[in-house]
A and B are shown apart, each in its own frame.
Chain A
Amino acid sequence: MDLVFHALADPTRRAVVQRLGKGEATVSELAEPFDMALPSFLKHLGVLEKSHLIVSRKSGRVRTCALQRESLMAAERWFTEQRALWQNRYSNLDGLLAKMSGE
């Protein structure tokens, strides 16, 4: 799950991930909603591919992309766990503060 969060930090890349959540798509289909030069868009796809969030295959002159759900799920799981850790830690602090304020 290298670099998953870096990949997801960008709105264009998040939109691509969301689109691929609905199913495979070609590069031109993916690029269509964005007002962006193709080389810039391909850079975004490169980041997503490097982070293993997506895979692509070329058939003739058409490149098709697909989502790697496992990578996304691992990142989500980590995020949920870290969130729970802080929530748990801070709920301890709530208890301590209530005790101290009461004294």
Chain B
Amino acid sequence: MKVDLRFEFLISNEGRAITVHREFDANRQLVWDCHTKAELLDQWFAPKPLTTKTKHMDFRPGGYWHYAMVTPDGQEYWSRIDYQAIKPIDGYTALDGFSDEAGAINPDMPRSKWDVAFVDQSERTLVTTVVLYSSADDLQKAIGMGLKDGLTSTLERLDELLEDFRARQE
């Protein structure tokens, strides 16, 4: 990642939302495609070392993306994003939720509303993602669940970092 690409991660909307601003060194059409086409989403959406696997993608209002994040040992975490409004190539809104492999939404977990906007920034593109929960309680619930998975991936990253560090020491 280029060091001068803007990146901001904030808790917003009175503690009900996460707002992420990120600049990309590419034109808006390309960045839009990467967010809206399954074959491209599959190449970046899951954080390393996880990978993304699409089961169904229908990018239009009322359609949905059904995908899994897959751990290196093959465990699958399924989610489903239902698209609401789409305005190419300015932005889209969608309803995110945890699901099972068949695509049924888990009713016990809070769903969040995604509002993703794409703006030209001279040669670059600024993407703003707002992940809004219906209450601060819901965000907390999501936090409780994310804690364990997030920690695992942090530990794995640390392993990578140490490996890299060891390699340089030799």
Contacts and interface: CB of A to CB of B under 8 A. Distances in A.
Contact of A3 (B1, B26, B48, B140): B140
A100 B29 CA distance: 12
B154 to A, nearest CB: 6
A77 B11 CA distance: 14
B34 to A, nearest CB: 6
B86 interface: no
Given A74-B147, A101-B26, 17 more contacts: A1-B143, A3-B137, A4-B15, A5-B136, A5-B143, A6-B136, A7-B15, A78-B146, A84-B150, A84-B157, A90-B24, A92-B43, A92-B47, A93-B34, A95-B44, A97-B24, A97-B31
Interface of B: 1-2, 5, 7, 9, 11, 14-16, 18, 20, 22, 24-26, 30-31, 34, 40, 43-48, 136-137, 139-140, 143-144, 146-147, 150-151, 153-154, 157
Contacts, number: 108
Contacts of A84: 47, 150, 153-154, 157
A85 B47 contact: yes
Contact of B137 (A2, A8, A96): A2
12 contacts: A10-B14, A77-B151, A79-B9, A81-B147, A81-B150, A82-B18, A86-B20, A87-B9, A89-B45, A89-B47, A91-B1, A97-B31
B156 to A, nearest CB: 10
A9 B43 contact: no
